[in-house]
């Protein structure tokens, strides 16, 4: 069996690969990344094994149900993308699959938005992985995802979403801007922080928390801006930097500051959901 793999603007042969098995593998990795992010504890103001953080409509059970409900969507994205070149038709079909996955997510969570941003982020990366050579690195996959994100979707509804309003109000790029820029907060911030923490001897949970703090210290998270404005964003960024400056989540002082940041953001009813989505992307690409 031969499949085609994206290389530049043309497709090249990818022999002796079971396409359905690979699509299932990529979908499983995406779901596993979402589950790993949800289970990671303690995360400032995010749902984790301690509770719901700053969320009233979400809990860990709903987050896990949501992640598992998205497997079929990621699988369909990988199946559709394999062997195709990047064009508007591909972009629009991925968007249709993503909107169907979002509907399944809402059914699984009784209407709560648990992973809308993650569908966009991980959907693009799953598609990029499915159309790339097996040895493509994280930066290559992010660049391919960027080329997809740049294309228009004629069927997208011009909804007055929270994210769109925040991007306009504060002049930030949001999830689409992050993807178009080839996920700099994943490739240049999160993954290096994850691997640096491991080299220092941090366990995997602490390494992932440090990656989250690194992303949070620099990302203009639209979730934070929507829920708490500039004050929430500055609190999150400054608090995350303080955790890292204290040595990270594996040190007593770093852990104390992380928990202090959790209390501050919960009091502001502000949750760094965009940072969580990018952490899941880090976990996906790292694996």
pLDDT band (50, 70, 90) for residue 253: very high
Cβ atoms of residues 264 and 221 within 8 Å: no
Per-position b or e across 81-95, b if 16+ CB within 10 A of its CB: bbbbebeeebbbbbb
Query: Of 194, 235, 230, nearest to 214 (Cα)?
Result: 194
pLDDT band (50, 70, 90) for residue 162: confident
Note the pLDDT of residue 13: 39
Range of the domain at 30: 2-286
Q: Residue 9 pLDDT > 80, yes or no?
A: no
Q: Residue 2 pLDDT > 70, yes or no?
A: no
pTM: 0.92
Q: Residue 229 pLDDT > 60, yes or no?
A: yes
The residues pairing with 51 across neighbouring beta strands, listed in sequence order, are: 48
Cβ atoms of residues 279 and 194 within 8 Å: no
Coil, helix or strand at residue 23: helix
Note the pLDDT of residue 18: 80
Q: Total domain count for the chain?
A: 1
| DSSP secondary structure of 199-229 | HTT--HHHHHHHHHHHHHTT---HHHHHHHH
Note the pLDDT of residue 157: 67
């Amino acid at each position: 069996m031969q499949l085609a793999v994206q290389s530049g603007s043309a497709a090249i042969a990818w022999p002796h690969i079971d396409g359905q098995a690979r699509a299932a593998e990529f979908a499983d990795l995406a779901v596993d990344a979402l589950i790993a992010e949800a289970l990671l504890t303690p995360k400032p103001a995010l749902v984790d094994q301690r509770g719901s953080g700053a969320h009233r409509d979400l809990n860990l059970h709903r987050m896990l149900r949501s992640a598992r409900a998205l497997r079929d969507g990621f699988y369909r994205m990988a199946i559709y993308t394999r062997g195709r070149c990047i064009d508007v038709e591909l972009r629009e079909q991925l968007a249709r699959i993503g909107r169907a996955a979002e509907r399944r997510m809402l059914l699984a969570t009784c209407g709560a938005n648990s992973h809308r941003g993650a569908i966009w982020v991980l959907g693009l990366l799953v598609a990029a992985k499915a159309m790339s050579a097996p040895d493509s690195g994280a930066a290559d996959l992010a660049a391919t995802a960027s080329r997809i994100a740049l294309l228009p979707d004629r069927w997208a509804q011009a909804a007055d979403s929270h994210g769109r309003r925040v991007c306009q109000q504060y002049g930030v790029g949001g999830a689409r801007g992050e993807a178009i820029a080839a996920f700099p907060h994943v490739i240049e911030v999160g993954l290096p922080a994850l691997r640096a923490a491991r080299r220092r001897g941090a366990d995997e949970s602490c390494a992932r928390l440090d990656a989250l703090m690194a992303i949070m210290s620099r990302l203009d998270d639209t979730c934070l801006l929507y829920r708490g404005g500039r004050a929430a964003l500055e609190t999150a960024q400054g608090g995350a930097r303080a955790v890292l400056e204290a040595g990270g989540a594996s040190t007593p002082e770093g852990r104390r500051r992380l928990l202090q940041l959790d209390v501050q953001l919960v009091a502001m009813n502000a949750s760094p959901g965009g940072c969580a989505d990018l952490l899941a992307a880090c976990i996906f690409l790292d694996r």
